[in-house]
Copies of this chain bind each other. A is one copy, B any other.
Amino acid sequence: MPREKIDIPGQIDHLSIIDKEGNLDKDLEPALPDDFLLKLYRTMVLGREFDARQLSLQRQGRIGTFPPITGQEAAHLGPAAVLRDSDWLVPSFRETVAELWRGRTIESILLANNGYNEGAQMKTGMNMMPISVPVGSQVIHAVGIAWAMKYRGKDDLAMVFFGDGATSEGDFHEGINMAGVYDAPVIFVCQNNHWAISVPRARQTRSKTIAQKALAYGIEGIQVDGNDILATYAAAQEAAERARSGGGPTLIECVTYRLRMHTTADDPKRYRTDEEVQGWEKQDPLLRYQKYLKAKGLLSDEEIVSISDAVKAEIADAVKRAEERMREIGDPGDAMSMFNYAYAEMHPYLKEQKDQLAAELKETAKEGDNG
């Protein structure tokens, strides 16, 4: 056999259901109950409005820096929406809408974004990992969780989110490769928002798509229009069925765009043009989904306004509660709490350090009274 072609699956599909003009591909339309469709819409609006609110809070110094998600609502809510309670969600740090969908509270996010560890407190049974700041590192955790699910004979799955930049990390590679080897029930969802801070997608990897990286691991891969929530949902649904039935992992590339800054510390004008941003604003996933719901007769202009008002009110309440909570805790808050949760049991030398600080703070307080 001289030079011959090897028979490997070398094909990657792109999925789109509602196109940029809002036209629907009826054959591909997932059959979802109306209330579910509306719940998706409301949650997208909540994410969008919460982003706006946090930006103004940050500008006023009422919270610290955070990563906005505007423009990526469909790209991460669609996949997250296929999860059951017994499945696990393993987020990166830019899937706020998915976290809210999973039951994380607005208050907890505000607390965390204002530097209170209380905000990252995890209620057990949420079946969710906390956000993971080290890019790509969480990918492997999902594989371990999925391996354990399979070991326990469950038909649950783990869904992990990461960005286009994360695909350059060794951890992404090690995790996805191991998932393939163990046929682990994982769905790898890449939020390809075209930028890793200032590094464009094209400088992150030479491959035309992220989805084709699945070919390296012998697993299924698909690229979807990430601003089309029906497409992101449908692709994830297909992947979920594969995972639950022992078909192994899937890599889903959601092509979307980060409309705002990387974090509030970032100035996108340094590295990208307004034209590019405006081009993507025209593809707003929220507007596209609105069109669809309206055409379906599920959403009226009045309802759009009322939902938006309701959501804003919900956020306002949450902000109030969160700020009350922060006042209760106090700024800087009970210093002693930083010694908690380092270990199941505090070790003696740490106890000594804690007692020492307690004594120092008492002294300071006294001095305060005297002075």
Contacts and interface: CB of A to CB of B under 8 A. Distances in A.
Interface of A: 1-6, 8-17, 19, 25, 27-28, 168-174, 177-178, 180-181, 183, 203-209, 211-213, 215-219, 223, 248
Given A2-B16, A25-B2, A181-B204, A216 B218 contact: no
A160 to B, nearest CB: 16
A215 B218 contact: no
Contacts of A212: 6, 8, 10, 215-216
B6 A12 contact: yes
A interface SS class: mixed
Given A2-B27, A2-B28, A17-B2, A206 B223 contact: no
Given A4-B13, A13-B4, A207 B216 contact: yes
A87 to B, nearest CB: 22
B215 A216 contact: yes
Contacts of A183: 206
A138 B253 CA distance: 30
Given A10-B10, A14-B3, A174-B169, A217 B223 contact: no
A207 B203 contact: no
8 contacts: A1-B16, A2-B25, A3-B28, A6-B13, A8-B209, A9-B10, A183-B206, A216-B216
Contact of A208 (B11, B207, B218): B218
B168 A180 contact: no
A8 B13 contact: no
Shortest Cβ-Cβ A-B pairs, 9 listed: A170-B170, A10-B10, A180-B206, A173-B173, A216-B216, A206-B218, A207-B218, A213-B216, A2-B25
Given A16-B1, A219-B206, A170 B180 contact: no
Contacts of A211: 6
A228 to B, nearest CB: 11
A204 to B, nearest CB: 7
Contacts of A181: 203-206
A339 B12 CA distance: 56
B6 A14 contact: yes
B170 A174 contact: yes
A215 B207 contact: yes
A19 B3 CA distance: 11
Nearest to A1: B16
Nearest to A224: B3
Contacts of A6: 11-14, 208-209, 211-212, 223
A10 B13 contact: no
B8 A12 contact: yes
Contacts of A172: 173
A2 B228 CA distance: 11
A44 B223 CA distance: 47
Contacts of A204: 181
B177 A205 contact: yes
A196 to B, nearest CB: 12
Contact of A5 (B3, B13, B180, B216): B13
A167 to B, nearest CB: 8
A204 B217 CA distance: 10
Contacts of A205: 177, 180-181, 217-218
